[in-house]
Structure formats: structure tokens, C-alpha cells
Amino acid sequence: MNPSFAIYVQDLHKDFGDTYAVQGVDFQVRSGEIFSLLGPNGAGKSTTISMLSCLLRPTRGDALIMGKSITREPQQVKESLGVVPQDIALYPDLSARENLMFWGKMYGLRGAALKARVDEVLEIVGLTNNAKGRIERFSGGMKRRINIGAALLHRPEVLILDEPTVGIDPQSRRSILDNVKELNRQGMTVLYTSHYMEEVAELSDHIAIMDRGKIIAAGTHDELVKIVGEFDRLDLTTNQPAEQVVDCWRTVPGVQSISVNDGVISALVEDSNVVLPDLFEAAAGIGARITSVDIQEPNLESVFIHLTGRALRD
């Protein structure tokens, strides 16, 4: 294992009986970079994060965080780690300030230093004016921001965020993404998990795509997109049930892979100019009509579809 990386993960496994949640995950995160784990729900991202946070003990394998082993030195790991859990983990009947004061104490901060740091974190997350308000009265976005703030109190060297923007409004999401970038600019190493391709694409220096407990691809955004660089992605809707249309489109020449998500058919094709008319014809052949077409540049979603045959949000 190479301790020069901020995070070094080697052959991490986690089994729950007959369920293999994480199977041989390896990746490395350099100091000061943003590394993202991208994958659909159930891919094993949260389980991986739980192991790195020392909440779950790996069945096999190990990881070093700032040179400390998660299996042999968990308390030391936690001192340099800030974890933002996927669900809001705050006390709803305490105020924002009371929550931060408590969590600061859990990280070993005391007295005037704690009070000053709480004020600073409230400023960072933009909730200084709401410090006395009870968490239960906050909006979802405000709760998420305090949720992040609680992990920043002790100035961690590594920050892990597990799907921090789930279920919040676009404005709050924007605020969180900007905060993450700013923290990274200040030198913090960030491990970010999400199933939102756009966030990952915007934030990350390096990305690992996870599916069914394994990393199926890793690299920079450009490196990953190059996997499907020659393919166009078409997002189509029809007037017939998508599953019926997909069956006849699979056999159309030039279609590399096809998937359905929320009634939208995503197809990776070699050349959209050539394949699209064939798709219209095939649909007409079964009495279906294409109602909308959207041509996308190759992106991470395309990569995932290409590698797994499923959409990220399946």
C-alpha cells in the first residue's frame, strides 16, 4: 500500500451473508483532489464509504487514509476524516448552533475555539442568520448544509460526502457544489459519491464508476467518455410502451446498446444520422411513432449504459 496517497484502497470486500456488497474495490485518491464514485443505487458506494468511515469492518482488504489503516488504526483515521452521511444526521429538536457545538465536542473541540469554529462553519454554509433555529424547521437544503457543516468543524484533511444532494432544490444543490469546490480549493481532499452524472462531471478530478459491488471503469472524465467517444446517445420517446419498441430496435444495425429509464429510451449508436431513420422505420413497422428525439454528446451516462446496458438511474 502506498501511503503517499490521501486515500489508498486495496482489494476491499464486504459480504453480508450471501450478499456480496463490495467485491475487490481498488482505487487511490491523491491529496487535494476530488475523487468521485459514480453508480446507481445499490452499486456498493455507500458500503464502501461506510468501510472507509470505519463504520463497517471490511470482510477482506484494507485502506489507508492519510497513512492510517482503517482496520488497525480506526480512531486515528477518524481524526483526519470528515464524513457527511447520505441521510440527514442531526438532532431535529436542537438548533443549528447546538448541533454544531455538540458535533464539535465529539471531534474534541472545546471552549472558545469551538465557539469560533462553529461561527466560521455557519458562515461557510451560509446559515449564520439561522443559527438559533431548530433543525426540524429547516428546509431540506438548509438541513443538508448543516449536515455538511458538522463534518467540517475539526478541519479534516479528507472529506467524504455520500450523495449530499439527494432530494434538494437546485439552488441548494448549487450551493453545496460550490462549497465542495471551495473546500477543495483550500486543500481538502474530497471523496464524493453520487448517482448524478452532471455533478460528478463538474466536480471531479478522477472518477470511478461502480456497479454491483465492483469498479467497472476509472479515470478522468475525458478518459471515461472516450470509451464511448465514437457513439452518439439518443434519448427517444414513443407513443407505445417503451419495452415493446426497445425489443425491435435492438436488432437495428448501428445500435450498440439500449436501455429504458422512466419511459425514455436511451440508445448508443454509431452514427445518429444513419441510425435514426432506421429507428423511425422500425418503430413504424410495429405501429409505433417516435414522439421526441434528443441527441446527446457522449457523457458518463453513455459510458454506464455502454458498460452495463442499464441507465445510471435504473
Partner 1 sequence: MKVFDIAFKDMLRSFRSAFAVGMMLVAPLLQTGLIYAAFGGLLKQSENQEMSIPVITVQVVNRDLGAPAGDLNAGDMLVDLFNDDRLQSIFAVSVAEDEAAARAAVDRQEAAAALFIPADFTRAALTPGKQAQITVYEDPALTFGPGLVREVVDQFLDGFSGGQIAASALREQFAAQGHAPDSALEQQIMTGYGIWLQSISSAQGLDLPVDIAPPARDTAPESTGSDQRTSFLGPVMVGMMILFVFFGAALTAQTIVTEQEEGTLARMLTTPTPAAVILGGKLAAVFLTLIVQTLVLIALSALVFGINWGNPLTILLASVGMVISAAGFGVLLLSFIKTSRQAGPVIGGVVTFTAMLSGLMTTGLPSVPSFFEMTGLALPQGWALRAFRLALSGAAPHEVIVPLLVMLAFGIIFFMAGARVFRARFV
**Cα–Cα dist 171/156, whole Å:** 26
CB nearer partner 1, residue 75 or residue 186: 75
Among 25, 38, 81, 96, binds partner 1 (CB under 8 A): 81
Q: Does 55 bind partner 1 (CB under 8 A)?
A: yes
First to last CA, the chain: 35
* Contact code string over 139-178 relative to partner 1, x by CB under 8 A: -----------x----------------------------
Q: Does 16 bind partner 1 (CB under 8 A)?
A: no
**Minimum separation from the CB atom of position 75 to partner 1 (A):** 5
For partner 1, the binding residues in 187-226 under the rule CB under 8 A are none
Geometric angle at alpha carbon 37, from 31 and 38, rounded to 5°: 145
Residue 200: Cβ within 10 Å count: 25
**Cα–Cα dist 284/261, whole Å:** 22
**Cα–Cα dist 158/239, whole Å:** 49
Among 25, 29, 51, 54, binds partner 1 (CB under 8 A): 54
Q: Does 230 bind partner 1 (CB under 8 A)?
A: no
- Kindly tell me the sign of the dihedral angle through the C-alpha atoms of 205, 39, 254, 227: positive
Q: Does 87 bind partner 1 (CB under 8 A)?
A: yes
CA 37 to chain centre: 5
- Kindly tell me the sign of the dihedral angle through the C-alpha atoms of 42, 44, 46, 51: positive
8 A C-beta contact, residue 156 and residue 7: no
Q: What are phi and psi of 100, to 5 degrees?
A: -65, -40
**Minimum separation from the CB atom of position 271 to partner 1 (A):** 49
* Contact code string over 88-127 relative to partner 1, x by CB under 8 A: xxxxxxx---x---xx-xxxx-------------------
CB nearer partner 1, residue 110 or residue 185: 110
Among 29, 64, 83, 288, binds partner 1 (CB under 8 A): 83
What is the contact surface with partner 1 in residues (CB under 8 A)? Answer: 53-55, 75-76, 78-79, 81, 83, 85, 87-94, 98, 102-103, 105-108, 150
